[in-house]
Structure 1
Amino acid sequence: MERQTLAARLRALALWIARQAVDVFAALTGFYYSKKYAVLTRRFGWPPADQRAGTRGFVAVEIDGLSYDQLQRAIAEGHMPYLASQIHSGRLRLSPWRCGLPSTTPAAQAGIMFGNNDDIPGFRWYEKDTGLSVICKLPNASKLLEDRISSRQPGILRGGSSYFNMFDGDASLSLLTLSALNRQHLFASGRGMGFLLLFLLNPLRTVKLALLSLWEYASDLLHRTAARLRGERRVPFQGIFPLLRVASNVVFREVQTFALLMDIYRGVPAIYTTYYSYDEMAHHYGVDSRPARHALSEIDKRLRQIDRLRRARLSREYDLLVLADHGQTPSEPFSQRYG
């Protein structure tokens, strides 16, 4: 009986010590992040975002083209360990949703940001009444569609930020968002130029970006060479794609993550970004290919950074939403199989 009592007391003591250790770690983490991002925001004179007392913000991270089945498989195979740990601990809840038809990024993102995607029948189409050929990846087309939709329903990002999306959701700041490129050319706004300068003027970050870019380019070359030696026809050599791979898998990913972390520190109420690297790799190599899985692993690492800063609650409390706009079906082009 005494042994059981002693064991119970030891367990209680161990739990108390563990809780204290977690609290101390959380405090140290919060202190570190507050000092780190305070210095960055002061350099460019960015004040904290307008905040209403008690109002929670949200951070939405979209992974382009990732289906529910492929996400489950990536988690089961250990490619997304941080996301898996948050789901298993109950901090995040995993559930499927139907994106509807057409299952494309513009239709899904318009529905998410504005609650309406009625006038988006595909990714490209011809309008008989206006004589327009609409191609959604072009800024003018995205701007046209958003103007139509936003006139009926306000977007969810008013007062917030949009990074690397197709639509801006009425955000106050939009960087590399297609529908906003005509009025804010890339980094034309003051804060946008500030983000770029902060990112590039840090020697360690710049060196890291250069090394990651070189490694990504070399990985693409090695993958194509190995595929050619194995006689695989689905990975042809293409001049510009390796550069696009470096842009989506490294440059864009690092810049948008940095900008998002800065906004969380400042307390921006609504933040939405899209990681395109998995979709690009899945289209080019296959949904379950090694490059596609590697892209998910790198996105998972950025989710860890984002969630850690979110949970530090430096400026406001945030809800985190990790979502996908649509999925992809494994397939092989007719031309690659039969020539």
Structure 2
Amino acid sequence: MLSRIESRLRRWRRHFSRSEWMAKLLKLSRSDSHPNDHGLILIQIDGLAYPQLQKALANRKMRFLRRLIRKEHYHLQHLFPGVPSTTPAVQAELFYGVRAIVPAFGFMMRETQELVRMYDPKTATRVEEKLKACHTEPLLRGGSCYLSLFRAGTEDGEAHFCPASQGWGPALRDAGPITVLLVLLSNLWGFVRTGTLLLIESVLALVDSVRGIIAGQDLWRELMFVPTRVAVTILMRELCTFGVKIDIARGLPIVYVNFLGYDEQSHRRGPGSAFAHWTLKGIDNAISRVWRAAHRSQRRHYDVWIFSDHGQEYAQPYQERYGRSLADALAEVLAELPAKAQGFRSSGHQGVQLQRARLFGSEWIEKMIPSDQGETVHSESPLALAALGPVAMLYNVRLNGCSRADIARAVVEKAGVPLVLYKNGEGPDAPVAGWHLSGAVQLPRDGPRLLGDDHPFRDETAADLAQLCRHPDAGDFLMFGWCAGQEPMTFAVENGSHGGPGPNETNGFTLLPADIHTPAKGFWRAEDLRRAAHQFLQDSRLALPSPRSVGARTLRIMTYNVHSCLGMDGKYAPGRIARIIARYQPDVVALQELDVSRARSGGVDQAQQIAHYLEMEFQFHPAIHLEEERYGDAILSHLPMRLIKKGTLPGPPGLGSPGFLPGLNEPRGAVWVEITHNGEKIHLINTHLGLSKSERLRQIEALLGPRWLANPRCKDPKVLMGDFNTLPNSVEYNRLARRLHDAQLHAPGHRALGTFPSRMIQVRIDYVFIERHIRVTKIQVPRTELTRLASDHLPLIVDIELPLTSHNPC
């Protein structure tokens, strides 16, 4: 009844959904998917390091993400972005499986000798052509993306606010005035809310700019940062959230969105600054709205995965530390060596903050924001410098008999650069050498000394640094603003930087459901996320969690009325039930209300399908058997299992031979198995009792009698579990409690929790009854969005510790 009511409510909500109407108004296509197909939302929080996320969680800046970890079975783990620790490198690895496609965010293309940055549409397109030439399957094929540097397989019109397609897709750009008016009217509250946020953020941005000017920052850049900050942190975030919700309503298989606000503020004020962390509150709210839309979808079962592409280091600009630009310092150094050249080309030393607003694609933004993409040309010399963030690269250096080691040493000693590396030879495996304040270095041999013992990914970073120096588009000399023992330095005008090997910039995070397998190495890379995403979208089998670490005598039991796998959203989804079970890793599962070959649930064998997903054996008893259709209960386990008995329980007084009768007279049954766990045998009985009191009393007497629990074959330890359809103060319950212990009342420090109905828990009718000498160590009644959606009951999970000596015969 409750599921039917909620299913109807969901259908009505869908009819009046703004996202659904937007998709219709804009004439956007819908996915031809089955409601049980998987879908995936990838949310990237640009530039947020693992330690900064921990700080934000502790300070309650990200309450929704905190809830995901505490209540929704999400696990927070480390992500190593590799070196360079930049967005294009991570996105290329995620979307195409290609590591380090570019050596930095700004670099020189050797083929054309152009100094480029990845926000340039032509540059992003050319780099993606190289990725396509690798002939790997783009991750986002058939989906959409927001604020991505690459299209990643999305169709025309599905890449939004990207360099190659600035602004929203053509559906909104080409919409007529009536359509635009309807869009505005139907989302009036959303636009009022966004306008209010824009006003608040504008005031905060002005206050922040005044502080920056007082602190000595450039007046013009501070004033220009006000509108771009508001545009990127608020307007772009809200538009992207709006678009993602529409794409969820359309049922697209995969959607990627990148929230830039934190990275924008972090570059400007530092990764731990109050203004940077302020933006995390808005991002957290946007994620919560996307997550709720995903879990209400009628077209797919969506997962929401959250991650960052890299972190940032607090850094002092080179120009601020030394009073001159890196280009000027290098010109002076080279002038004193035989390798001197007449002038150079430089990509400048400004950051990228003012350029991101160009992704809106508006002409007034193009006019308002001065381009920072062009080169600074001091002569016709081929010598070129690409300096951005903590990495700078010097190209086309003519040695003129001077050794590379001499040049690297001079740059370190006279220009004050902490570390200079270079490829010492030709070929893909050429050795990598360099100079450090302590003298000559080689990689990977000196990686531990350069990176320090506290670096979270020391060996991996050292290996990536060596490969970076061998990159076809890397400079002849690579200069780094950070190494162990040195204060971080950036070659751009910014207070937070990334791109190099620092311990924070190479320490991203993932926040994924716990049943998504962590790589064996214990942390993620973007290529691991790519593999996991492909498996999630394409593989019908679950990625089972690693085995629990438990004591030899500990057994985890779950009882769960799955309501024919019919969720509160009206979907029959055995895979969803299996996923819930997999998350909690029980040793034994007792399931009630399973359909086998019933037309209403698609004709599938739900017991067999769930067992197949979980790689478990099962025993099923059909309480109802009508021609080919069956309905009943099952016990599943990965442990050795032997069927002892399965059978029908007595019906109400006066009922004749068992058969299918509607309403209260529905037949009931039980299934009894023997499990072997670490050499010990335990007997378990799963049942589902009737709806009338008299019927339940007869069934309980039968279960306590010589055919079941009092049977000589039913040795201790023994467990009786299932849906008893009775309350703890009832006569039926007390009859059972005189013989067995209610596990929920015998767990230390535990308050008994209800299991029904799943949406608004009121009563306790699902139980695990145990022998009195069995000790209960833990109870769980998971009340997550998934468990509240998948059935009208919640699962009850009981960890028991078997007695030191059992009464089982040898």
* TM bracket, shorter-chain basis: 0.7 to 0.9
* 2:257 matches 1:276: no
TM-superposed CA distance for 1:117, in Å, is 3.2
CA displacement at 1:305 relative to structure 2: 0.5
Structure 1 CA distance for aligned equivalents of residues 8 and 35 of structure 2? 22
Determine the structure 2 residue equivalent to 1:148: 130
Shift of 1:51: 1.5
Is there any run of 5+ residues in structure 2 with no aligned partner, and where? Answer: 324-810
Percent identity between matched residues is 27
What code does the residue aligned with 1:57 have? G
Q: Distance between the aligned counterparts of 1:234 and 1:23, measured in 2?
A: 62
Higher share in helix: 1
Aligned-partner Cα distance in 2 for 1:133–1:260: 34
1:147 shift after superposition: 1.0
Aligned-pair distance for 1:38? 2.9
Aligned to 1:62: 44
Deviation at 1:60, TM superposition (A): 0.4
Q: Supply the AA of the counterpart residue of 1:48.
A: R
Contact 2:209 2:222 in 1 (8 A): no
Tell whether 2:98 aligns with 1:116: yes
- Give 2:265's aligned amino acid: M
Q: Indicate which of 174, 177, 198 corresponds to 2:159.
A: 174
Which structure has more relative contact order (CA 8 Å, sep 6+)? It is: 1
TM-superposed deviation, 1:127: 2.6
Instruction: Give SS of 2:116's match.
Output: strand
Q: Find the aligned partners of 1:77 and 1:29 in 2 and give their Cα distance.
A: 35
2:147 maps to which of 147, 159, 164 = 164
Corresponding residue SS for 1:58: strand
Flag the 1:210–1:337 CA change in 2: closer, same or farther, 3 A.
farther
What corresponds to 2:657 in structure 1? Answer: none
Q: C-alpha distance in 2, partners of 1:136/1:50?
A: 35
* 8 A Cα contact 1:256 1:273, kept in partner: yes
Residues 85 and 115 of structure 1: CA distance in aligned 2, closer, same or farther (over 3 Å): same
Change (3 A) 1:66 1:26: farther
Letter in 2 for 1:189: P
Residue 281 of structure 2 is aligned to residue 300 of structure 1 = no
- What is the match of residue 305 of structure 2? 321
* Farther off after superposition, 47-56 or 84-93: 47-56
| Mapped pair 1:35 → 2:16 | yes
Amino acid at match of 1:32: R
Matched letter for residue 274 of structure 1? N
Aligned CA distance change for structure 1 residues 43 and 188 (closer, same or farther; 3 Å): closer
Q: Any idea what the Cα deviations from partners look like across 1:66-85, whole Å, max 9, x if unmatched?
A: 11111111111100000001
Report the more deviating stretch, 85-94 or 57-66: 85-94
Letter of the structure 1 residue corresponding to residue 303 of structure 2? D
Q: Is residue 215 from structure 1 mapped to residue 197 from structure 2 by the alignment?
A: no
Counterparts of 1:1-339 in structure 2, within 5 Å, are 31-32=12-13, 35-36=16-17, 37-52=19-34, 54-152=36-134, 153-172=136-155, 173-178=158-163, 180-181=164-165, 186-187=167-168, 189-190=170-171, 193=174, 197=180, 200-201=184-185, 202-226=187-211, 232-233=215-216, 238-336=222-320
Q: Which amino acid aligns with 2:116?
A: V
Q: CA deviation at 1:102?
A: 0.3
Distance 1:101 1:321 in 2: 23
Mean CA deviation greater in 203-212 or 214-223:
203-212
TM-score (norm 2): 0.36
Deviations 1:154-183 (A, max 9, x none): 2101111011111121112111112x32xx
Q: Matched residues in 2 for 1:338 and 1:127: separation? A: 29
Does structure 2 retain, via aligned residues, the 8 Å contact 1:224–1:235? no
**CA shift at 1:49, angstroms?**
1.6
Contact 1:267-1:316 at 8 Å conserved across structures:
yes
**Offset at 1:58?**
0.4
Q: Aligned residue pairs: how many?
A: 313
Which amino acid in structure 2 is aligned with residue 80 of structure 1?
Answer: M
Task: Decide whether aligned partners of structure 1 residues 23 and 165 sit closer, same or farther in structure 2, where only a CA change above 3 A counts.
Answer: farther
Structure 1 segments unaligned to the other structure (5+ residues): 1-19
For the Cα contact (< 8 Å) 2:52–2:272, is it kept in 1?
yes
Query: Which moved further from structure 2: 78-87 or 108-117?
Result: 108-117
Amino acid at match of 2:80: R
C-alpha distance in structure 2 between counterparts of 1:266 and 1:298, whole Å? 25
- The one-letter amino acid of 2:210's match is T
Q: 1:255-300: per-residue Cα shift (whole Å, max 9, x none)? A: 1000000111111111001010100000001111111111111000
- Local SS of the residue matching 1:239: helix
Q: Residue by residue, what CA displacement relative to the aligned partner does 1:39-82 show, whole Å, maximum 9, x if unpaired?
A: 33333343422225643110001111011111111111100000
Contact 1:175 1:192 in 2 (8 A): no
Amino acid paired to 1:278: Y
Q: Which amino acid in structure 2 is aligned with residue 35 of structure 1?
A: F
2:292 maps to a residue whose letter is: R
Contact 1:70 1:287 in 2 (8 A): yes
Q: Residues of 1 paired with 2:174 and 2:49: CA distance?
A: 34
**Match of residue 10 from structure 1:** none
Residues 167-214 of structure 1 deviation map (CA, whole Å, 9 limit, x = unaligned): 121112111112x32xxx533522565599365454333333333222
CA distance in 2, matches of 1:199, 1:291: 32
Structure with max Cα Rg: 2
Query: What are the Cα deviations for residues 84-114 of structure 1, in whole angstroms up to 9, with x where unaligned?
Result: 0111124322111110010011101111111
- For residue 330 of structure 1, report the CA deviation from its aligned partner: 1.7
Corresponding residue SS for 1:296: helix
Structure 1 pair 47–171 and aligned structure 2 pair: CA distance change class (3 A): closer
Specify the alignment match of 1:4 in structure 2.
none
Equivalent residue letter for 2:190: R
